[in-house]
Amino acid sequence: MSAPATTAVSVARPRRPARRGRIGFWVGLVWLSVLALGAIFADVIPGLPGPSEIFGPIGSQPDLSIGGLLGTDMIGRSNLSRILHGARISLVLAVCATAIALAIGVTIGMLGGYYRGWLEGIANFAATSLAAVPPLLLLLAIVAAIGASLFGITVALGLVMTNTYIRLTIGAVISNANREYVLAAKALGSGGPTVMVREILPNLIGVLGAMIPITMSIVIVAEGSLSFLGYGIPAPTPSWGGMIAAGADVIRKLPIVIMAPVATLFLTVYSFNALGRYLGARTDIRDTQL
């Protein structure tokens, strides 16, 4: 057979996806930065009313004023203001819940992966147990018991995300544990914890770092789902999910009320996913949605 025909099938990694990934990465980064800035400075943006302020007539179309840039909702509050304040909740929740998941998951995974034996069994058991319940169900059960406060929801979301990090860490630690640099450190007399923290952990940053944006996007979607169902952060604090639920019945009369939070949510989740994909996360074999 002539060479070109065979190379058409067995081709080394195609170039284009990497370049596509890069555009997505930068667009995502820009969007997230703008969103974060808007959320942080929401209180001091000149001309932007508070999220609970009755700013104008109900259901107005977008106009050129700052408060009315995205129109008003069915009570007369500024949609832009509510979206930015909702971003605060979403982003803070994302960061804190991910931090909790990281802290607990990496610790357990590290101990299990390094010491192996029954510790690894326990770590795997913990991960399996957490993964065995459908995430939304677990969230709902926790919220039913401890109520829908910011703290409660953060902890609940963190717990749900932990199993991913346990497994990720175990796998990464095991593959690292027999490398030369670890053996060298041990030979030099470093004890277990030191080796784990000083030597292995820094090498996990790549793998973990790729997963973090994905986790954040899952958390944001999860919080949105809870708010949509009515169990999220209680009113009057705005949340994207709550705004989407509230806009569902006037979708024909006034699509902006639902489209603004939908677009924002979509762009944010897409950005996090793009970040994660570019950093090399494997988004496929994860239950990454609720």
Partner 1 sequence: MLLIARAVGWRILVAIPVILVVTLGVAALTDLMPGSPGLAILGENATPERVAEINARYGYDRPVFERYVEWLGGVFRGDFGTTLFGNVPISDVLFKRLGVTLQLAAFGIVGALVIAVPFALIASSRPGGIVDRVMDSVTSAIIAIPTFVMVVLMSLVFVVWLGAFPATGWVPFTEDPLMNLRFVALPALTLALNECAYFYRVLLADMQSTLREDFVLVARTKGLPRKYILWRHALRPSLSSLVTVLGLTVGRLLGGAAIVEFFFGVPGLGAEAINAVSIKDMAMVQAIVLLCVVVYVLVFILVDLAYAWIDPRVSVR
Partner 2 sequence: MTVRGTRRRGRLLLPLTAAAVALALASCSTTDPGTGTGDGTPVRGGEIVSVQSGAISSWHPGAVSAAQTFQRMQAVYGLLMYVDEAGVVQPSIAESFETEDGGKTWTLVLNEGVTFTDGTPFNAEAVKFNWDAIAEAGLGGGVANSFQSEVIDELTLELVADPIDPTLAYRIAESLTFIASPDSLGDQGVEYSTPVGAGPFILESADAAEGEEYVRNDDYFVEGQPYADSFRTVIIADPAQRTQTVIQGGADMMNGYEFWFDDAIGNPAVEMYRIESGGFRNFVFNTTAEPFSDVRARQAVAMVIDPNALVQANMSDPTLEGSTSIFPTQSPYYDAKFELSADLDAAQKLIDEVLADGISPDVKLLVPAAPENLRTSELIQLAVQQLEGLNVTLEQVPLSDWRTIAFANDDFDISFYPGIYDLNPVSTSLPNALGTDGRENFSNFSHPDMDAALAELRGASDEAGRKAAVRAIQEVFVEQLPFVPFAVDYRTFLLNSDMQNVVSVRPYILLTDQIWFANQ
Binding residues for partner 2, rule: CB under 8 A, are 52, 54, 57-59, 73-76, 230-231, 234-236, 245-246, 248-250, 252-254
Q: Using CB distances below 5 to 8 A depending on partner kind, what does residue 3 bind out of partner 1, partner 2, none?
A: none
Return d(Cα 108, Cα 200) in angstroms, integer. Answer: 14
Query: What single string gives the DSSP state of each residue in 107-171?
Result: HHHHHHHHH-HHHHHHHHHHHHHHHHS-HHHHHHHHHHHH-S-HHHHHHHHHHHHHHHHHHHHHH
Q: Interface with partner 1 includes 136 (CB under 8 A)?
A: yes
Judged by beta carbon, residue 101 or residue 143, the one nearer partner 2 is 143
CB 223 within 8 A of CB 90: yes
Q: Using CB distances below 5 to 8 A depending on partner kind, what does residue 62 bind out of partner 2, partner 1, none?
A: none
Q: Using CB distances below 5 to 8 A depending on partner kind, what does residue 54 bind out of partner 2, partner 1, none?
A: partner 2
Q: Interface with partner 1 includes 74 (CB under 8 A)?
A: no
Residue 158's nearest CA partner among 221, 215, 207, 110 is 215
Number of neighbours of residue 254 by Cβ within 10 angstroms: 18
CB of 226 to partner 2, least distance (A): 12
CB of 235 to partner 2, least distance (A): 5
Which letter, b or e, does each residue of 180-213 get, where b requires 16 or more Cβ atoms within 10 Å of its Cβ? eebeebeeeebeeeebbeebbbeebeebbebbbb
Q: In the set 241, 256, 264, 281, which binds partner 1 (CB under 8 A)?
A: 241
Q: Interface with partner 1 includes 176 (CB under 8 A)?
A: no
Return d(Cα 180, Cα 182) in angstroms, integer. Answer: 5
Contacting positions for partner 1 (CB under 8 A):
1, 5-6, 9-12, 14, 16-17, 20, 24, 125, 128-129, 132-138, 140-147, 217, 221, 224-225, 228-231, 241, 244-245, 248, 251-252, 258, 262, 265-266, 269-270, 273-274, 283-285, 287-290
